[in-house]
Amino acid sequence: MPDAEKARRWRLILGRYADPSLSASNSFGAGDSDLDRVLGFLYDREYTGRGHRLRSQPGGSEGSALRAVNWLERTRKLFPKSTFERLQTQAVERYGMTELLADPKAADAMQPSPQLGAALINLRGKMNKDLEAGLRTVIRKVVEDIVARVKASFTATLIGRRDRFRRSVQPQSQNFDWRGTIRANLAHYDTESKRLLIDEARFNSRMKRHLPWDVVLLVDQSGSMAASVLYSAVCASIMAGLPGITVRLLLFDTSVVDLTHMADDPVEVLMTAQLGGGTDIAAAMGFAETLVTTPRRTVLVLISDFEEGGSIPALLASVSRLRGAGVTLLGLAALDEEANPVYDQRVGGMLADRGMSIAALTPDMLAEWLAEVMR
């Protein structure tokens, strides 16, 4: 990288506390001033949070003061979507810019993302009641964005597994048989253009389930589980609208809250959830046991980081009783922002030894897992 470009980047990283020579260099152009202002609006809080007084920008020109909504608009224009999403999440999560929620225009302008949703869920209990309307607006946008991405495949997977031995005349994307389509059209391969010309697309039929299933979602709402709570609420709402499936939604920390009555409204679930506190998985499993009426038609999904703060012997005894009665037990480990599993492997291993299947899956894969065990 040329030295001039290095100097430019260091100037943008260091902000107003950078050596004046970096701002005076030819590498720091007029267009960089806008970048500097929006970055400074956010990251100068790092300095003030440590007791520093902000000094004026070189030349003493600060321009018009930025407000939260203006900052969002300018940031969206200046940065790629992925960078913008990261900046707004840091604004809320790291620097407590809750004024973004106080301004209806700013709340509506925020880009929905799972990371932003998780950050807001974590902060919800610490926010002023006056921000509830803005918080609800953003949470609703995040939920709608996730539902739009996962509902079709999630629903198609759970309504009935594919029957690869029967062809369907229904041309639906979720039933597309790409292997069969390739085989049926190999004769139409164009060697000159190196393309396969599709003369006949093939689709799989789906087998409908008739016997009902009970699905109990037991969701850990300790402080590290915000993203899992978010996705669990969405998954519960999708399943609540499917035929042949009865959903029970339980959130727990050191106590258990039954939110089954609002399982079809993920926004209300997330506005009710109280993240933080300890974790008593044993007590939650014990409560879930009391809800099981048809063991062999029940799937209990424990969504947790398995950081047990209660009695491990009691937890293992509960798992053994449920498994012995015929309940299908799934343990869904927490994922971090990079989708890496984050959980207590020792406790996870003990649960697996007692008959609970343990995995770290994204929501769409959870649907595949449920479809497999509910055949």
For the chain, give the percent of residues with pLDDT over 70. 85
Worst-scoring range by mean pLDDT, 266-275, 296-305, 362-371? 362-371
375 versus 326: the higher-pLDDT residue is 326
Residue-averaged pLDDT of the chain: 83
Worst-scoring range by mean pLDDT, 19-23, 114-118, 249-253, 328-332? 19-23
Superfamily name with CATH number, domain 213-373: von Willebrand factor, type A domain (3.40.50.410)
Phi and psi at residue 305, in whole multiples of 5°? -90, 0
Q: Return the number of other C-beta atoms located less than 10 Å from residue 115's C-beta.
A: 20
Cα–Cα distance measured from residue 220 to residue 225, given in angstroms and rounded to the nearest whole number: 7
| pLDDT greater than 70 at residue 167 | no
pLDDT winner (highest mean) among 17-31, 155-169, 248-262, 330-344: 248-262
| pLDDT greater than 50 at residue 64 | no
Residues 42/222/121/319 CA torsion (nearest 10 deg)? 140
Question: Can you give the residue ranges of every domain in the chain?
Answer: 1-66, 83-150, 163-206, 213-373
SS3 letters across the chain: CCHHHHHHHHHHHHHHHCCHHHHHCCCCCHHHHHHHHHHHHHHCHHHHCCCCCCCCCHHHCCCCCCCHHHHHHHHHHHCCHHHHHHHHHHHHHCCCCCHHHHCHHHHHHCCCCHHHHHHHHHHHHHCCHHHHHHHHHHHHHHHHHHHHHHHHHHHHHHHCCEEEEEECCCCCHHHECHHHHHHHHHHHEECCCCEECCCCCCEEEECCCCCCEEEEEEEECCHHHHHHHHHHHHHHHHHHCCCCEEEEEEEECCCEEECHHHCCCHHHHHHHCCCCCCCCHHHHHHHHHCCCCCHHHEEEEEEECCCCCCCHHHHHHHHHHHHHHCCEEEEEECECCCCCECCCHHHHHHHHHCCCEEECCCHHHHHHHHHHHCC
The whole-number pLDDT of residue 224 equals 76
Closest listed residue to residue 97, CA positions, set 74, 69, 136, 55: 69
| pLDDT greater than 60 at residue 269 | yes
| pLDDT greater than 90 at residue 293 | yes
Cα distances (angstroms) measured from residue 25 to each of 3, 189, 212, 280: 11, 58, 71, 59
The whole-number pLDDT of residue 53 equals 63
The whole-number pLDDT of residue 363 equals 66
373 versus 356: the higher-pLDDT residue is 356
CB environment 255-291: b (16+ within 10 A), e (fewer)? ebbebbebbbbbbbbbbebebeeebbbbbbbbbbbee
User: Mean pLDDT over residues 318-325, rounded?
Assistant: 96
**Unique residue bearing structure tokens 């939650």:** 284
Confidence band for 14, pLDDT divided at 50, 70 and 90: confident
Residue 50 CB-density burial (10 A; 0-12 exposed, 13-18 middle, 19+ buried):
exposed
Worst-scoring range by mean pLDDT, 60-69, 160-169, 301-310, 357-366? 160-169
Distance of CA 285 to the CA centre of its chain: 24
User: Mean pLDDT over residues 336-341, rounded?
Assistant: 68
Would strands 204-206 and 213-220 be described as parallel, antiparallel, or unpaired? unpaired
The whole-number pLDDT of residue 7 equals 79
Cα–Cα distance measured from residue 275 to residue 283, given in angstroms and rounded to the nearest whole number: 17
The whole-number pLDDT of residue 185 equals 79
The whole-number pLDDT of residue 24 equals 62
209 versus 138: the higher-pLDDT residue is 138
Question: How many Cα atoms sit within 13 Å of 214 on the Cβ side?
Answer: 19
pTM of the model: 0.74
For the chain, give the percent of residues with pLDDT over 90. 33
Confidence band for 206, pLDDT divided at 50, 70 and 90: low
Strand partners, 219: 251, 303
Strand partners, 43: none
User: Mean pLDDT over residues 82-101, rounded?
Assistant: 87
329 versus 95: the higher-pLDDT residue is 329
Worst-scoring range by mean pLDDT, 261-270, 278-287, 335-344? 335-344
User: Mean pLDDT over residues 127-156, rounded?
Assistant: 89
| pLDDT greater than 50 at residue 321 | yes
**pLDDT, tens only, 217-246:** 999 988 778 888 998 999 999 999 988 899
| pLDDT greater than 70 at residue 169 | no
Cα–Cα distance measured from residue 215 to residue 291, given in angstroms and rounded to the nearest whole number: 11
Q: Return the number of other C-beta atoms located less than 10 Å from residue 77's C-beta.
A: 10
**pLDDT, tens only, 26-62:** 666 667 888 888 888 888 888 776 666 655 554 444 4
